[in-house]
Amino acid sequence: MNSPLFTNDAIVLGILLIVLAIIFVTSNSKNKGWQKFYTYVPALLLCYFIPALLNYPLHLIAAEWFDSDILEFASSLNISIPEGANFNEVKQIFSDNGIEKSQYKGFIKESHLYFVASRYLLPVALVLLCLSIDLKGVLNLGWRAIVMFLTATVGIVIGGAVALFIVHAISPETVEGTGNNAVWRGLSTIAGSWIGGGANQAAMKEIYQPSGSLFGAMIVIDVIVANIWMGFLLYGANMSDKIDRILKADTSSITALKKKMEDFQAKHARIPSTTDLFVILAIGFGATAGAHFFADLITPIMEGYEKQLNDIGLNSLTSGFFWLVVFATTIGVLLSFTPLRKLEGAGASKIGSVCIYILVATIGMHMNLAEIGQYLGLFFLGIIWMLVHVSILLFVAYLIKAPFFFVAVGSQANIGGAASAPVVASAFSTALAPVGVLLAVLGYALGTYGAIAAAWLMEWVYAGG
């Protein structure tokens, strides 16, 4: 059984920061070799994939793993765990033997870095990136942004049924199953995750009741396919000008917003003093504290209406993370109307970007490339699903001359949500990060409705149309 070499989060954080530092030093190097390398490989993509490689095949770090005592526990149940089995393989073995997670969860160890990055550093980043936001300029991005976001949602709704139909025609045994093991039930949870997020995924699990083993497989497919697609988006951001020329896109609104932000930064740019840095950190973490405070107040109230909210498809309102993102973004936007926005000149957005990159690295360490082979057939289905989603996006983008930025952020706001949509937006420009957040919040609202529509279509295909 494989356990990571480093399990202390302090060590893992140090490794991730060293990796990030090396990437930024080399990407800004004047060495012609490095310059040529980064012409083809975006720095942000490496910030994401190198931690994934440190997970597998190097086994230096991991997001989750089993304590070595799990072998003794398995033996007491007459269950054999093969040498070298990874985390999800062990979980699957227990599931196949009818062992509930509650029976072995005490043996699960995990890194808390992603939790810290997503609950503490992400809100800080949202506040600091929104601090100098030109809200009028964002709104002036116009109808194309909304159309591409909704197109991304439709692509996910339709894509699941199309992928299920194709895989069933090629390999019927891959999507076999009846009752709670019907594959469409599991796929409904991916639709919930890709349109809304974790809360919507949980809602789909409760509505359609896939078996535990099927749901476990779907989580793997969800994470791997979504992460691979995010990698492509980060790569695409590096060549967005070429893609925009192919799409014959109208990029005037984006260019105007970026220039306005660059001019604002240049006007107020200064060498930050220690006082500036303390004020920036106080704003970021103080606003994060306020966002947590209000989220902790409103979430229990919303949970009291959980049944009513679920009945109308607004289960995301019971998620504490949803309210954390909403309040952090709102506080950042409100502060952008005050003199504090001038702190952008002292590097507020740069500190926000550092928080984003740390988040990217912790997301990357959750990706285990070894798991692709475990569910190859379903992985193939997930890839087809994503290709349908992408094809519809690009087709509509070409029709309405939408920039690739709207394609990328509209897609990631659905599939990745608030944790990664600003990451993708920042790959184009830090000035555009708030656009990703605003669209992601919209995704939370549509998640359950879109996922239910996708489930209906997949059930129809599964039943033979």
Per-residue pLDDT tens for 370-400? 666 667 888 899 999 999 999 999 999 999 9
Q: Are 249 and 404 in contact (CB under 8 A)?
A: yes
Question: Does residue 86 register a pLDDT over 90?
Answer: no
Find the mean pLDDT for residues 12-27.
96
Residue 258's pLDDT is 76
Q: What is the mean pLDDT of residues 18-34?
A: 93
Which one is predicted more confidently, 310 or 356? 356
pLDDT of 228: 86
Average pLDDT over residues 99-128: 89
- Using 50, 70 and 90 to split pLDDT, how confident is the model at 230? confident
Q: What pLDDT score was predicted for residue 218?
A: 84
**pTM score, two decimals?**
0.73
Look at 318 and 274; give whichever has higher pLDDT.
Answer: 274
The secondary structure of residue 63, as a DSSP letter, is S
Average pLDDT over residues 165-193: 85
Residue-wise pLDDT tens digits, 129-175:
888 776 666 666 778 888 998 999 999 999 999 999 999 889 888 88
pLDDT at 315: 66
* pLDDT at 461 (0 to 100): 87
Given a cut of 90, whether residue 195 has pLDDT beyond it is: no
* Complete DSSP assignment for 341-376: GGGGGGTHHHHHHHHHHHHHHHHHTT--GGGGGGGH
Tell me whether the omega of the peptide bond preceding residue 4 falls within 30 degrees of 0, making it cis: no
Query: What whole-number distance in Å separates Cα of residue 238 and Cα of residue 259?
Result: 18
Confidence of residue 213 (pLDDT cuts 50, 70, 90): low
Give 148: exposed, middle or buried? Use CB within 10 Å, 0-12, 13-18, 19+. buried
Identify the CA nearest to 84 among candidates 99, 107, 100, 65.
65
Whether residue 89 has pLDDT greater than 60: yes
As given in the structure block, the two tokens for residue 309 are 């909210």
CA angle (144, 321, 277) in 5-degree steps: 85
Query: Which amino acid is present at 422?
Result: P
The pLDDT mean for the chain works out to 85
* In the chain, % of residues over pLDDT 70: 92
Q: How far apart are CA 97 and CA 79, in angstroms?
A: 8
Average pLDDT over residues 12-31: 95
Quickly state the pLDDT bin for 313 (edges 50, 70, 90). low
Residue 465 has pLDDT above 70, yes or no: no
Task: Residue 464: name the closest of 208, 164, 234, 16 by CA.
Answer: 164
User: Measured between alpha carbons, how far apart are the two ends of the chain, in Å?
Assistant: 44
